[in-house]
Structure 1
């Protein structure tokens, strides 16, 4: 058995791997130690075997009430994500995985990787209504990018509104960038009547990831300096 979080947005600490029915893990806190809840790791084992993973410090997480009725997500191909049986009791989060392939990735929510973020920016910049603006570099020297979408003048007398949307101020909220992904593709789909109507009434200024440093580092809420 092998467990690693040594990849983009990875987060887990291994405490004990001696018993596959009681694998003991802990979530690594953000820089500063105040916040943690995001986890993202890969488990390699034997096909057909069941592994019981216990995150021992779950009760000290930023929002322990969020573990109630929660189910961790997992994927074999990093494309299709599904839920795993998960329970929370006495401050311990228990995830059960029966392997269908040798390696499974398990996470708090479906990750939105930096690689996927770069693919999104590259794809939307091909559209004639899109302009990418470089806002600056983070402390880890990553680009902070604004996506501007406008089809020009309004088709009516009312002036266009300017709508700003930002996502992932808290890097562990990956669902926010998944939402932005869907929004961008909907706005830029010429067959999407709602998207066309919105672009007739407004210009959009969208930052898909406000905290790329924290995202890559596997943080829940903070930047690389521990700032929220």
Structure 2
């Protein structure tokens, strides 16, 4: 009987091992965030099981943060950490089980295709090579990671700087929602393509302020939803602090300095197998102008990207019931601007399913690239 080992002592690694005595009954528990009770993200490496039928039981799946997220979900797996695929997975309401007969002695499993801190730094490096990009250091997180802002525009355009629209895109307030940074990568690759006519027009009209990773501490620690202090950053926007939520404090401070005309915050949803947006219709300031901008944005995205839809999503807030601790609501209220949360699935897009890969990093990149068209559709109407 070969010796099995499981490790998670690496970037975004997270799992608790209960039993490795039998490859047909590997018992695991999903580890909670380091300073909170949120438990849904996992990422680990199994060694020694080549050619063996492996059955993994996630014993506490039924008491995780979002148990409804396991219905129809499939675990992601990879041998080389570059190419990820989905494996057979089932959930009985209490335990989640996943099966694979590994083709190699080393195989990785994750809740979703990871986006490493090294890749994050590579993304910053890629952007830095463009003369359209200024890289700004906003400050440090509690663990000492850089909070990096990319400011992107065409300085040679004829539009006066004061007339350019300030467009903001943030991602990974919830660090386990790694599809959000894949989304940003695809967005930046197209925005910085000098041969793309949509990009050229947008960069002449707008300044894009992009924070690819709002929560590097949580990402490195293997957290689903919180930072090093246990703060859910997307509930900190009304009163952030440098001691609890410096990530939000620093970004919010920059927003107040330069303004916001359009805000987009990329996320992942555990339960819904669709791409959709959630707005700020519950805000006191919400009215016909913002509703018109929302409809124009959604219509343009649906018309140009079959992966996006507006039928399935969250229930709309009632007037006056918007939660102003959430980024989309606070920014929309503070700046009287079009403000949207973008949600992608952990599972698959039910409208265009992929049996082998499900929703993936590459598909998230394609969706990010498609974002330029709805932005173009509303750019001249933002103020």
Q: Distance in 1 between matches of 2:19 and 2:113?
A: 25
Alignment-derived partner of residue 183 in structure 1: 187
Q: Match of 1:152? A: 155
Could you say if the C-alpha distance between residues 112 and 193 of structure 1 is closer, same or farther in structure 2, counting changes exceeding 3 Å? same
Distance 1:115 1:165 in 2: 21
| Larger relative contact order (CA 8 Å, sep ≥ 6) | 1
Residue matched to 1:107: 110
Determine whether 1:60 maps to 2:74.
no
- The residue aligned with 1:167 is 171
Q: Unaligned regions of 5+ residues in structure 2, if any?
A: 233-383
1: distance between equivalents of 2:86 and 2:134?
37
Within 2, Cα distance between the matches of 1:139 and 1:48? 43
So what's the TM-score if we normalise by structure 1?
0.96
In 2, the alpha carbon distance for the partners of 1:164 and 1:154 equals 20
Asked if 1:215 corresponds to 2:219, the answer is yes
TM-score, normalising length: structure 2: 0.58
Task: Determine the C-alpha separation between the residues in 2 that align with 1:87 and 1:103.
Answer: 23
Q: Is 1:195 equivalent to 2:199 in the alignment?
A: yes
Give the C-alpha shift of residue 156 in structure 1. Answer: 5.9
CA distance in 1, matches of 2:110, 2:118: 17
Cα contact 2:61–2:67 (8 A) shared by 1: yes
In terms of mean alpha carbon deviation, does 149-158 or 2-11 score higher?
Answer: 149-158
Cα distance, 1:198 vs structure 2: 1.9
Aligned-CA RMSD value? 1.4
For 2:36 and 2:92, the matched residues in 1 are separated by 23
**Count of residues paired in the alignment:** 228
Aligned partner (choices 85, 89, 105) of residue 86 of structure 1: 89
| Bigger strand fraction | 1
Gaps of 5+ in 1: none
Q: Paired residue for 2:143, among 140, 143, 154? A: 140
For 1:9, the equivalent position in structure 2 comes to 12
Q: CA deviation digits over 1:120-144, x for unaligned, max 9?
A: 1111101110111001111111111
